[in-house]
Chains A and B, each alone.
Chain A
Amino acid sequence: MNTFVVLVENLPGVLTRVASLFRRRGFNIESLTVGHTQTPGVSRMTIAVDTDELGARRVEANLYKLINVLRVDNVTSAPTVLRDLALIKVTATPETRAHVMQLVEVYRARVVDVSPSSLVVEITGTEEKIDSLIEVLRPYGVLEMARTGTIAMVRGGTTSTEGISTSNGATHTEHPTDDVSVSYSV
């Protein structure tokens, strides 16, 4: 699995361009999330793709061919904070409610809604942690679930967004592959 942080111009059709690229080049998207960044006009995508190292290089090179893509970072091997958010509606009768809430406590998740027959649980964490909570809740009856997909950020002081702005702005950082340390050779 390879995880990419992709900064794109926030324009109509950009998500389609990115998604279409993966489809037509035969890469399978495991998860894709999009949201705003601190820079107006720039959106951030976190894309998880099931591919090997050579495939990951091709994904990166092809993403860079899209004119609305500003920056691509493959964060797979970097120390990274990865987070997913899930809302889980689980059956909770007066008899089982205490058990369910105990489990929620163990996972450091939160109950955000209570009804006579159910609870809505909110959890953030890695994909594995969320999967694990779902597994333990399943016997009680998972009625509905919504997950965001993974977002990623590299730990430490470096950033993916330094110097990035849209085409209209003035700032511009050289593309990482202009860096002499990057080689296309194997």
Chain B
Amino acid sequence: MKKTGAQILWESLVREGATCVFGYPGGAILPAYDAMLDFPIRHILVRHEQGATHMADGFARATGNVGVAMATSGPGATNMVTGIATAMMDSSPIVCITGQVGSKLIGSDAFQETDITGITLPITKHNYLVTRPDDVARAIREAFYVARSGRPGPVLVDVTKDAQQSSCEFEWPAEPTLTGYRPNHWPSKPEFERAAELIHAAKRPVILAGHGIVLSGATDVVRRFAERAHVPVAMTLLGLGGLAASHPLNLGMMGMHGEAWVNTAIQEADLLLAFGMRFDDRVTGNLKTYAPQARKIHIEIDPAEINKNVKVDVGLVGDLRDILEELLPYVGACDRTEWIDHISHLKGDSAVRDIQQLPDSGHLYAAHVIHDIWKATNGEAIVVTDVGQHQMWEAQYYHHEEPRSLITSGGLGTMGFALPAAIGAKVGRPDAEVWVIVGDGGFQMTMAELATIAQENIDLNVAIINNGFLGMVRQWQEFFYERRYAATPLVNPDFTRLAEAFGLKGARVRSRAEVVPTVQAAREHAGTVVIDFQVEQEDSVFPMVPAGADLHAMIRRPSAIVETGADV
């Protein structure tokens, strides 16, 4: 039967399992929008195309399925760029569909024409320009396949207006066969044996668990592996939740704002087992002094990550879950109590210095707010964070027990990510309790999506950690630029009245005593509540490894906190 390219587009999306699309219409995508009405698809009308991509991303991270975003040509497409780059850096499977001017107009600087396949070339896993209806089904099929297989990532499909309008015979293509695409690899037997040797020989091993443990569904086998080999596990930001925070072998987050003793353990280790992580500069600090005594085993699906930043002794390339299942029988039960006790000893006075020990002196600290949200939600919410100080405090004080319960922009560090990504997460998992934890700066970058929340009746809660500053930048200015606060103080709107203007509920919290009651009220309220937590203005995230410094050379929490209870 003959169908238009637009009909084929939706037919293909439905066959690939898409149930919802985050998008914004416009001239070049109009034929597709017209055809949409005849298909079982929930469309969420965003307020900015960047929001559509973050929503698709949040949907993908919350569910593990491919998220879909749609926009028109030109500015619609270019507005997607930040969201696509965010998904690329964090290996999130999304498919972006953009309208393009008619194929005969391409290259003529037509109205709303832009070379979006050229623009997104370095920030997509792959992209397509489709100029004929006959190619639509295959492009969509391949796009989904490429997005979700191997190391996941964003794929963009640019469809010209005439390809949407004209008709052809529809035929659903067979499984994609992409000769040049090799998502799967498998190490050789000697490499498994070599890895097992190193594991057995190690006295002070540490597992470094990254986003890959979640993406490959390896969280269970990582836990069994860690227990059997008796190896403590340090997490990257995107790994959090992959191993329950309450698990006795879980050390918590490593890196720039990890606990000092976790980083010290890595520096003292004689073997690092890197599982689905890529030795980002935020977790290694100075590479020249990074884990100097450690042999390294890197298990990773992307061959290009092996030996990129850190030279490793064994690189096992392939799907993490399959490789760990294969490796597990090689590894005998071990007892490393001595090493684990030593790491506990490294904690020293960390607990005493912890900001949670700070008495309630009338100040409201962000860390306290996050701690109380964690308590009030029983640690069971999906938390979507933005980028900056609140993001690090969340990672430190919201203890995640389940994979896919923390959604945050790690690699690209995209401010404005949280609110739209949370909408995507809620749409993907409507039964989950979703909390946005966001700074006052980042919130204002994409707060127009409050209108999307209102229009689509999305029920989530927003905690604005409002310190009246671009807090992390202010912290760097305090530490490294002699407190010269260039362009970091913010004059903010009244966030409660803003929420009300969107038809949502607003609340304001100024003291610790109000935190839990307000959070509980928000949880009980049917509909989105925006809470403005007015916290201490010049608070800093500790501990901290200054950018490029040695991992063990941390700025620790000032012990003055404990002695005086004064401001940090």
Contact = CB atoms under 8 A, between A and B. Distances in A.
Interface of A: 8-9, 12-13, 16-17, 20-21, 24, 54, 57-58, 61-62, 64-70, 164-167, 169, 172, 175, 177-178, 180-181, 183-186
B121 A17 contact: yes
Nearest to A68: B180
Contacts of B126: 67
A74 to B, nearest CB: 14
Given A16-B118, A65-B302, A186-B307, A167 B180 contact: yes
A177 B180 contact: no
B314 interface: yes
B185 interface: yes
A185 B314 CA distance: 4
A152 B306 CA distance: 28
29 contacts: A12-B129, A13-B117, A13-B121, A16-B121, A21-B122, A24-B122, A54-B307, A57-B307, A58-B308, A61-B303, A64-B303, A65-B302, A65-B304, A67-B125, A67-B180, A68-B180, A70-B179, A164-B179, A166-B179, A172-B179, A177-B182, A177-B185, A178-B185, A178-B186, A181-B188, A183-B188, A184-B187, A185-B314, A186-B311
B296 to A, nearest CB: 10
B188 A67 contact: no
- 5 tightest CB-CB pairs across the interface, nearest first? A184-B315, A61-B304, A180-B188, A61-B303, A184-B306
Nearest to A24: B122
A175 B129 CA distance: 27
Contact of A67 (B181, B191, B306): B181
A69 to B, nearest CB: 5
Contacts of A70: 179-180
A169 B177 CA distance: 9
Interface in B305-345: 306-308, 311-317
Interface in B387-439: none
A186 B314 CA distance: 7
A165 B178 CA distance: 10
Contacts of B315: 183-186
A171 to B, nearest CB: 9
Contacts of A21: 122
A178 B126 CA distance: 22
Given A13-B117, A67-B126, A185-B312, A169 B179 contact: yes
Q: Give chain B's interface residue range (CB within 8 Å of chain A).
A: 20 to 34
A69 B303 CA distance: 15
Interface string B153-182: 000000000000000000000000111111
A161 to B, nearest CB: 12
A167 B182 contact: no
Given A58-B308, A61-B304, A67-B146, A185 B194 contact: yes
Contacts of A65: 125, 302, 304
Contacts of B129: 12-13
A130 B110 CA distance: 47
A64 B182 contact: yes
Contacts of B189: 180
Contacts of A61: 302-304, 306
Contact of A167 (B118, B179, B185, B303): B179
A13 B118 CA distance: 8
Contacts of A66: 180
Contacts of A68: 180
A20 B122 contact: yes
Given A64-B303, A184-B317, A185-B194, 8 more contacts: A13-B121, A13-B129, A54-B311, A62-B304, A65-B304, A67-B178, A172-B177, A181-B188
A69 B180 contact: yes
Contacts of B177: 167, 172
B79 to A, nearest CB: 22
Nearest to B307: A54
Contacts of A13: 117-118, 121, 129
Contacts of A62: 304
A175 B314 contact: no
B304 A178 contact: no
Given A58-B307, A177-B185, A185 B180 contact: no
Contacts of A177: 182, 185, 303, 317
Contacts of A169: 179
Contacts of A185: 191, 194, 312-315
A62 B122 CA distance: 12
Interface centre among A62, A67, A69 (most CB of B within 10 A): A67
Contacts of B181: 67
A171 B424 CA distance: 41
Contacts of B304: 58, 61-62, 64-65
Nearest to A186: B311
Contacts of B125: 65, 67
A12 B127 CA distance: 12
Contacts of B121: 13, 16-17, 20
Contacts of B179: 9, 70, 164-167, 169, 172
A16 B191 CA distance: 36
A57 B305 CA distance: 10
A70 B188 CA distance: 22
Contacts of A69: 180
A169 B179 CA distance: 9
A122 B118 CA distance: 37
Contacts of A184: 187, 303, 306-307, 315-317
B192 to A, nearest CB: 11
Contacts of B185: 177-178
A186 B182 contact: no
A9 B128 CA distance: 14
